Amino acid sequence: MSAVAVPEIYTLLQQGRLQEAEQLARIGLATAPQDEAMLTLLGVSLQMQKRPGEAADIHRRLTGLRPQSKEHWSNLGTALREAGRLDEALAAYRQALSLAPGDAVVSLNLGLLHMERAEYPLARRHLLEACHADPGLNEARLYGAMMCYECGDNPTAERLVEDWRMWPDLSDAQRVDLAWLLTQLGQTAEGEALFESVLETTQELPRVLANLILLRERVNRLDEARALLARLPESDESIDLVARSEVVAARAAMAMRERDLPTARRLYEQLIAVPQPERQRSNLYFGLAHVCDKQGDVDAAMQALAKAHASQMETAAQLVPELLAPDVQPLKTSTLWVSAQQRAGWRPVSAPPTAESPVFVVGFPRSGTTMLEQMLDAHPALQAMDERAFLQGVVERLRDWYGLAYPDQLGELDDAQCAQLRQAYMQLVGGVVQLKPGQRLVDKNPLNMLRLPLINRLYPNAKIILALRHPCDVLVSCYMQSFRAPSFAVLCSSLERLARGYVNAMQFWLHHAALLKPDIMELRYEAMLDDFDGHVDRLGRFLELEDASPLRNFHQHARAKGFISTPSYSQVVEPVNKRAVGRWHRYQRYLEPVLPILAPIMEHWGYEP
């Protein structure tokens, strides 16, 4: 053991006197070059001084001295990760995990490495393993939740961070990441409050400002966003790459919102030129495509979209590789048909009346369902809950509680089981909104059109509104969106695959609407814009509303509401207009190959190619 005292060096590290700690460690090693404790402290001091390459050399010496130490292999992995030598870091972490299977800290570090490599499913797996090994490891819970969100697993993400207020040990950077995640999970007020709490004291000021700008643009509070934009540093050169990307993204989003399209395009192109994780890169290409579309530069928009989808498919290949085969239908639910023979065998059950049943708003995504939802939510007798996959949760309970396959065994449900499933559905709803006496729930989820058999089994008296829009406008709009659900991202990855998925969904709907005969109102987007007042009256009669007039001021209601989760958040705060009608004509050359696929459905709904 060296004559230099290890506790003294440790104290210097705690005090942030890093160079002094390094100097003392080197003095100690001069007389005892193989001293394990002294080498470890030297390696730590170098890492804390942002010299990870030198630290990696020290930690590698330690793995040679004591190859069975998982701590040395883990420290080596972290130094290599910080040095950007990710393949070597992966090998070191794997060696550490082989020496200590299930170790929470090693699993955390391995998860963070895969996260940095944009290998989200692997990151999620290791971070969840860390959470299981040590539920109090809040860093693992935070980034495990982020990876669950990236993988489309929102329920697990929400569960992991549900007690975040009890986490006292997060760094400023982690608090910013947590605030971002909360806003993505729909907990907008909580996320905004957390951003605000670190706004004045954090070293992460540019990141906080950028995220608050993006959030306030997202909730249509543009004056506040402009005020924050003025506080951003004039130069981005002094901030790190992550913060710089977020700052430029905020400037681009605001330029887009202010209709300064040349600036928005320049900023997106500037960001794309910087190395980014694949998920972020795909989002940037989608943003660039939207700018090019508004500029009328169709070819540039389609080129950007091709790159966006290619980037997105690299992530999808990790998440759902089985869906990437050309002949696979990504919307599996559209293949789960109820036959006439099965329907004839359903057991009779009692059901709630119309007034006690939800109003379901369905339709293929980008068909006008968000505008419909905001119209209905503006009425005091109705309460929407933003887009939720609660019916899918009911399907899972059908299997888990009763061992019944969906949809083949829907008919075996008896009165008590139907009542239990309705109760489970309303419990999920109750976690999001509280219905006032006499209010009816509005459940808007476009692809609930593929859950029509379940809706009809549990709520046969429910009012259902099917939103329709020209199929070519639907395809263009879907192709331009970055959908987080892996299956839908795959579906929208090419116009041909998207067209086939659209036709399959519509054929599913037409079959089941004819078979089940639910109470449906078909509402065409174009017709509603041509005669908005007339369609408001028609909606009021269909829903048996005494006074439908509140539906007319939906845009004011939506503006006051704040967060709206769908891509239409900036459109539904405006009065009705026809800007989006017929946009597909500009893209007709790209749509020509898929028109024969769409032809049967276009003919059925009476839309001209």
- pLDDT tens, residue by residue, 67-112: 999 999 999 999 999 999 999 999 999 999 999 999 999 999 999 9
**pLDDT above 70: percentage of residues in the chain:** 94
- What pLDDT is attached to residue 516? 97
Note whether 147 and 123 are within 8 A (CB): yes
- What pLDDT is attached to residue 574? 61
DSSP state of 523: E
Assess if residue 398 is contained within a domain.
Answer: no
CA distance 96 to 74: 6
Q: Residue 589: how many CB atoms within 10 A of its CB?
A: 10
User: Binning pLDDT at 50, 70 and 90, where does residue 1 land?
Assistant: very low
Assess if residue 512 is contained within a domain.
Answer: yes
Closest CA to 37 of 69, 14, 15: 69
In total, how many domains does the chain have? 1
> How many CA atoms lie within 13 Å of 45's alpha carbon, on the beta-carbon side?
24
Assess if residue 220 is contained within a domain.
Answer: no
Is it the case that residue 571 has pLDDT exceeding 80?
Answer: no
Closest CA to 4 of 56, 45, 50: 45
Q: What is the phi-psi region of residue 259: left when phi exceeds 0, alpha when psi lies from -120 to 50, beta otherwise? A: left
Note whether 93 and 110 are within 8 A (CB): yes
State the average pLDDT over residues 470-474: 96
CA distance 75 to 107: 13
**What CATH number is attached to the domain comprising 483?**
3.40.50.300
Note whether 412 and 340 are within 8 A (CB): no
- pLDDT tens, residue by residue, 178-193: 999 999 888 888 999 9
- pLDDT tens, residue by residue, 434-446: 999 989 999 999 9
* Tokens at 508, concatenated: 């599913």
Range of the domain at 456: 358-388+432-605
Assess if residue 277 is contained within a domain.
Answer: no
How high is the mean pLDDT of the chain? 90
Assess if residue 375 is contained within a domain.
Answer: yes
Q: Which residues of 73-98 are buried (b: 16+ CB within 10 A; e: fewer)?
A: bbbbbbbbbbbebeebbbebbebbbe
Assess if residue 365 is contained within a domain.
Answer: yes
Assess if residue 548 is contained within a domain.
Answer: yes
Assess if residue 83 is contained within a domain.
Answer: no
State the average pLDDT over residues 3-19: 85
- What pLDDT is attached to residue 350? 94
Per DSSP bridges, beta strands 463-468 and 519-524 are: parallel
The model's pTM is 0.85
Strands of 382-384's sheet, edge to edge? Answer: 382-384, 440-444, 359-362, 463-468, 519-524
CA distance 384 to 101: 47
State the average pLDDT over residues 134-157: 94
